[in-house]
Amino acid sequence: MRFDILTLFPEMFEGPFRKSIVGKAIEAGLVTVVVHNLRDYATDKHRTTDDAPYGGGGGMVMKPEPIFRAVERVLGEERPSTRVILLSPQGHLLTQELAWELAAQNRILLICGRYEGVDDRVGQHLVDDEISIGDYVLTGGEIPAMVVVDAVTRLLPGVLGDAGAAMKDSHAGGLLEHPQYTRPAAFRGYSVPDPLLSGNHAKIARWRRREALRRTFERRPDLLKKADLTEEDKEYLRGLEE
Ligand code: JBZ
């Protein structure tokens, strides 16, 4: 998988991709990440990438020409086989399902917006999708682009070890994870729940399932609508509602 990233702040990507599992995947040759400075694709003397909004109002808007030119230069004949994505607060929400879909691509180009936004012709006539990572206000698309690279890279074959590979579909049940504990069994008077110390695998599995259901019910009840639930799960949840 190859990611190309178009940004006015290429230095932001130096740290996060070096350390971490994404960094390991890059070293192992499983992923390539190429960061491009959008300013290099401006054509005027001052290398202008933004301008005042038509219709007035404050702030600046990213100009379309450097972005179109960068996509054309970076992709060339690869344009048809590349998914071109604008990170934008107006985008569809990034979900695990979308991450899996992106993981099936050979090449992804991520465009990071800045300032008050990007000339809408980019969204309408250049990109394949607009994606947002969530409903909070950010200053630009760089961190969202890193989130996309991270979420997609961990799904690629060979990136996670055996232990991690099993966890890839763990969101598939659609529930929050059960609580995890490690040694010591007692810490500052807080103890590890008895079932986990029992050595009884059936008992442990049942406890974990119920904790996952309880946490999801308490913290993310919205997830229960789409979750894969057995009759026993539903009965347990009915007990929580009382
Ligand atoms: C995003 C103007 O550039 C921005 C600003 C906010 C923002 C993005 C790009 S992408 N928020 C999100 O994913 O929610």
Beta strands (DSSP E) in 190-240 are 190-191
Evaluate: CB of 88 within 6 angstroms of ligand 1.
Answer: yes
Catalytic residue among 116, 129, 150, 177: 116
Where is average pLDDT lowest: 121-130, 153-162, 171-180, 229-238?
A: 171-180
- Is residue 140 in contact with ligand 1, taking CB distance under 6 Å? yes
Nearest to residue 89, comparing CAs of 144, 9, 36?
A: 144
Q: How far is the CA of 174 from the centre of ligand 1 (A)?
A: 26
CB distance 37 to 74 below 8 Å: no
3-state secondary structure of 8: coil
Angle at 101 between CA 137 and CA 228, to 5 degrees: 90
Model confidence pLDDT, tens digit, residues 6-50: 999 999 999 998 878 999 999 999 999 999 999 999 999 999 999
Distance CA 65, CA 76 (A): 16
Nearest to 130 by CA among 143, 116, 145, 115: 145
13 contacts 33 by C-beta, under 8 angstroms: yes
Percentage of residues of the chain with pLDDT beyond 70:
98
Q: What residues does each domain of the chain span?
A: 2-153, 174-241
**Is 39 designated active site?**
no
Options 50, 66, 130, 154, the catalytic residue: 154
| Exposure of 85 in the CB half-sphere (CA atoms within 13 A) | 28
Residue 163 has pLDDT above 80, yes or no: no
Task: Indicate the length of the chain as a whole number.
Answer: 242
Topology classification of domain 2-153: Alpha/beta knot (3.40.1280)
Instruction: Give the tens place of pLDDT for each residue, 189-209.
Output: 999 999 999 999 999 999 999
Q: Residue 225 pLDDT > 90, yes or no? A: yes
Across the strands, what pairs with 7? 37
> At what angle are helices 231-241 and 201-219 packed, to 10 degrees?
50
141 lines ligand 1 (CB under 6 A): yes
> How much of the chain is in helix, strand and coil states, percent to nearest 5?
45, 20, 40
Active site residue 183: no
Distance 51 CA to ligand 1 centre (A): 18
Find the catalytic residue in 89, 107, 129, 208.
89
State the distance from the centre of ligand 1 to the C-alpha of 50, rounded, in angstroms: 16
Distance 94 CA to ligand 1 centre (A): 12
Q: Is 89 a catalytic residue?
A: yes
Taking alpha carbons only, the member of 122, 112, 183 closest to residue 148 is: 112
Domain boundaries 174-241, corresponding CATH code: 1.10.1270.20
What is the per-residue burial (b if ≥16 Cβ within 10 Å, else e) of 80-115? Answer: eebbbbbbbbebeebeeebbbebbeeebbbbbbbbb
